[in-house]
């Protein structure tokens, strides 16, 4: 569903950038941010630069075009709640009016932690096999 939404957004709002971020672990999140930095050609002169802060700060700039970040598989609530800055990625989520974050998760607790508001969570019911196959074969936008 998130993929379809991303395709639809790109088709209807081509000036909106879509960034796909793997949220299952801190390492996959960081690797996704490295890819974003490469795509955006963000200068990283110092090899020890904090890539997470670099991307977050760039996305929070006022002169940046609208964007959507999809954080996929954000299921590990223990990691999200961790006090260890080397485990969690919550401090590196950009907060800006021109950007939105869509989270996919199989964990209600993780989704609640990321949104801060259970009213913002849309529960997708389990699909029957026929429904899943229909969605899988649905033409792209």
Of 24, 9, 17, 8, residue with least CA distance to 110: 24
Q: Is the pLDDT of residue 141 over 60?
A: no
Confidence of residue 140 (pLDDT cuts 50, 70, 90): low
Q: Is the pLDDT of residue 96 over 70?
A: yes
Query: What is the value of pTM for the model shown?
Result: 0.84
Please provide residue 99's backbone torsions phi and psi, each rounded to the nearest 5 degrees. -130, 150
DSSP symbol at 20: E
pLDDT tens digits, 34-65: 999 999 999 776 778 899 999 999 999 999 99
User: What does the domain layout of the chain look like in residue ranges?
Assistant: 2-137
For the chain, give the mean pLDDT: 88
CA–CA distances in Å: residue 28 to residues 14, 32, 62, 89, 124: 27, 6, 27, 10, 24
Q: Is 102 helix (H, G, I), strand (E, B) or coil?
A: strand
Which whole number is the average pLDDT over 87-116?
A: 89
């Amino acid at each position: 569903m998130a993929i379809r939404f991303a395709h639809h957004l790109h088709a209807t709002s081509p000036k909106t950038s879509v960034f796909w971020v793997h949220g299952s672990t801190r390492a996959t999140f960081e690797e996704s941010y490295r890819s974003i930095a490469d795509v955006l050609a963000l200068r990283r002169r110092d090899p020890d630069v904090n890539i997470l802060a670099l991307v977050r700060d760039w996305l929070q700039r006022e002169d940046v075009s609208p964007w959507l970040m999809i954080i996929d598989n954000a299921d590990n609530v223990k990691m999200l709640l961790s006090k260890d800055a080397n485990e969690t990625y919550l401090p590196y989520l950009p907060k800006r009016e021109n950007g939105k974050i869509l989270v996919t998760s199989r964990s209600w607790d993780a989704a609640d932690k990321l949104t801060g508001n259970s009213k913002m969570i849309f529960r997708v019911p389990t699909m029957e096999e026929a429904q899943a196959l229909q969605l899988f074969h649905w033409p792209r936008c």
